[in-house]
Amino acid sequence: MPTNLIVVESPAKAKTMSKYLGKEFTALASYGHVRDLVPKQGAVDTENDFAMKYGLIEKNEKHVDAIVKAMKKADALYLATDPDREGEAISWHLYEILKERGALDGKPVHRVEFYEITKSAIQQAIQQPRALSENLINAQQARRALDYLVGFNLSPLLWKKVRRGLSAGRVQSPALRLIVEREEEIERFKAQEYWTIESDLSAKGRDFAAKLTHFNGEKLDQFAVGHAARADEIEAILQSRAQGRLLVTAVEKKQRRRNPSPPFTTSTLQQEAARKLGFSAQRTMRTAQQLYEGVDIGGENVGLISYMRTDAVNLANEAVAEIREVIRGRFGAENLPDEPQVYKSKSKNAQEAHEAIRPTSAARPPESLHDYLKPEQFRLYELIWRRTVACQMVPALLDTVAVDLEAGQGNVFRANGSHVVKPGFMAVYQEGSDDKPEEEDEAILPSLERGDAVELRALRKVQHFTEPPPRYSEASLVKTLEAYGIGRPSTYASIIATLESREYVILDKRRFTPTDVGRVVNKFLSEHFQHYVDYDFTARMEDDLDAISRGEKEWRPVLKDFWGDFQAQVKAKESVERPGVEMMEEKCPKCGKQLAKRLGRNGYFIGCTGYPDCDYTRNVDEAAGAAAEPQIVEGRACPKCGSSLVIKRGRYGKFIGCGSYPNCKHMEPLEKPADTGVQCPECKQATMLKRKSRYGKIFYSCARYPDCKYAVWNPPLNEPCPKCAWPILTIKTTKRRGVEKVCPRKECGFAEPYEGEVPGAVPQAAQA
């Protein structure tokens, strides 16, 4: 019997494949990318037609070895990685490795792609294989080369001119610019006062309200009533003219249709999951990946949604037919339109051959899966199911009414009302909004006719102030990135993660605020590399990559055009002055030299230009001449040297340190560490505490420190290692392999995928 090897990225997907394809196929996982550019200068040889030097990713070496070994025994190879550029690149790299190691030896190689992990889709894909796509491979190589050339040339310049450890990226830098420019817009904003005059009314047993729109025959704009005195004056005039009632002068009735939103793309799924579920873009994509790759449902591993990296909004005819049957049976024929709803993408680069994100079977409602899914999986699946079903339902019908009422001639109040006549799709799903409350039905007004008199119960003056534009949330940032064409939907989560991990932005109350470091980096790049953080330039570069993937452009000429100008500009900026230093007129109170506002590891501070001879510093918000005297911790002494303990301020806020620093470097957190409840595996006398290091990194250590110094970087899990029996495992998160349970003992090496909650887990950049 012939044997076939099929390779996918993840073990979960491999497990599903094995069940669907039978004994003729062996399914193995590559665990993501297997090769990448070597991490050193010259990995992209700009002098040799952009030749690229790849190296094996060390942590996936054992998986590659297993694939090579299996391929030597197999008769044919099926490459079934994800149906996008990244997936094509993984397949190509595997092919190149297998060829180099002599594992192919003329055996047939097939590329198969599918957009949902179901038995029928997989078997159909096996029957319709294709060759590796040179265009998709070249597009991914061009993207990787561009990102490398920008990172390896701009980042060292930032190290030299701003601070070590910083980075600049082809798409992260324009994204940072968006956040910084919004913050600057907020800071420039000046609130403007205005007032509205509103009336509380009653007619036919129903209370309602109306707002003044015209006064003395003139229409009121937003700032027509700009201060309290004018509002008092208008209120007094209206009271005298109304005489306790208003007269209905016009009634306008309309029926309005509200259409359903199209099914989800990657971008809109990230936006809605942020609005409705509070999920980060990374959490959304991680959970969607789990639903796509397959979940155990009563002993069978089933892929629950179609491929989650897509910018298309169309649905397969078979899927639409099933959705319509679900609507007919569950919501009634009256909610089913005569013809299916057809959606077209607004993006010129959308791949209409792909589908939108949808359930693999609409006949599998969320409640039927409740017992099999983790809470976040259930919530995301329910969101996708509802949006998909709603997109094929009839529009909602709303009756709207607008009533004009006069308080004497020329003084007009308007009341608006509406109610849902036929909910249609709204019975299943309504789209959220970014920066305003979700739309609610307006008040239901009493039945009024022209000439009716309405009781005036009260007049109210309401003070308002204009508000600045809101800071970006994850949803609104993703929406703006898509609108500008910065990156592609599949990269939004990593863009946001990079900005946070580099500490260019912080996420506070679900809104992004730039840090001092982020502002300085943005200023430096905007002033000296304006072309490369320009939104239009970034979008055009993405268009070029899409054109390469379609075979309309060659990848090397695109790189050549970019590199010529970029290289010259990098060389020209080697001599620019260091940013982040602002000279002050104030003199140092210790030595008399000039002070300067500088960017340090903890943000801006004020320091003496005579450093290191003079070490005077103070916080930016402290008064001139202040010596930044630390606050002494009463009743405690340093456990190392016996000196006083003081409260200091660092990059991550306040902490307790020894007053004899730098002679004694003892420090400890100001806040009490959180108890994980997991027993220390070394001393077995105390539990592990979640702590923060002096550099802000989260770690977990024994509560008996310093008597017991056992510590790990990753969240501990109260579960013994199945390989070496060490009392605990840890939860490790990396970009390439996702979330895993790993043994903290390096010599053991145990690791397996983990799909539970990760409370307090922080991905370690060094491990990614």
Mean pLDDT rounded to a whole number for the chain = 88
* Domains by residue range for the chain, with CATH: 4-132 (3.40.50.140), 141-189+470-572 (1.10.460.10), 193-259+396-465 (2.70.20.10), 266-390 (1.10.290.10), 581-655 (no CATH), 674-767 (no CATH)
Is 611 a catalytic site residue? Answer: no
- Choose the catalytic residue: 20, 115, 292, 307: 307
Average pLDDT, stretch 542-546? 92
Give the least confident one: 37-51, 54-68, 281-295, 737-751: 737-751
User: What pLDDT does residue 766 have?
Assistant: 31
Query: Smallest Cα–Cα separation from 488: which of 90, 166, 84?
Result: 84
Half-sphere exposure at residue 662, Cβ-oriented, CA atoms within 13 angstroms: 1
| Torsion sign over Cα 492, 281, 189, 232 | positive
Largest CA distance in the chain: 98
pLDDT band for position 348 (cuts 50, 70, 90): low
Average pLDDT, stretch 535-542? 91
Rounded distance, CA 115 to CA 81, Å?
A: 11
Average pLDDT, stretch 669-689? 86
Q: What are phi and psi of 730, to 5 degrees?
A: -125, 160
- E-strand spans in 450-517? 453-465, 505-508, 511-514
Instruction: Output DSSP code: residue 224.
Output: S
Compute the CA torsion angle 545, 549, 554, 555 (nearest 10 deg): 50
- In single-letter form, the type of residue at position 218 comes to E
Judge whether residue 124 has pLDDT over 60: yes
Give the least confident one: 174-183, 214-223, 485-494: 485-494
Work out the number of other CB atoms within 10 angstroms of the CB of residue 23. 8
Cα angle 479-481-483, degrees, rounded to a multiple of 5: 70
Rounded distance, CA 63 to CA 749, Å?
A: 13
Rounded distance, CA 668 to CA 494, Å?
A: 33
Half-sphere exposure at residue 650, Cβ-oriented, CA atoms within 13 angstroms: 18
Give the least confident one: 272-286, 561-575, 724-738: 724-738
Rounded distance, CA 505 to CA 160, Å?
A: 21
Average pLDDT, stretch 154-160? 87
pLDDT band for position 432 (cuts 50, 70, 90): confident
Taking the chain, what is the end-to-end CA distance rounded to the nearest angstrom? 42
pLDDT band for position 209 (cuts 50, 70, 90): very high
Give the least confident one: 141-145, 182-186, 666-670: 666-670
Question: Backbone dihedral region of 585: left (phi > 0), alpha (psi from -120 to 50 degrees) or beta?
Answer: alpha
Rounded distance, CA 619 to CA 605, Å?
A: 5
Instruction: Output DSSP code: residue 279.
Output: -
Reported as a single tens digit per residue, the pLDDT across 14-28 is 888 888 888 899 999
Reported as a single tens digit per residue, the pLDDT across 613-654 is 888 888 776 666 555 456 788 888 898 898 999 887 665 556
Rounded distance, CA 228 to CA 210, Å?
A: 20
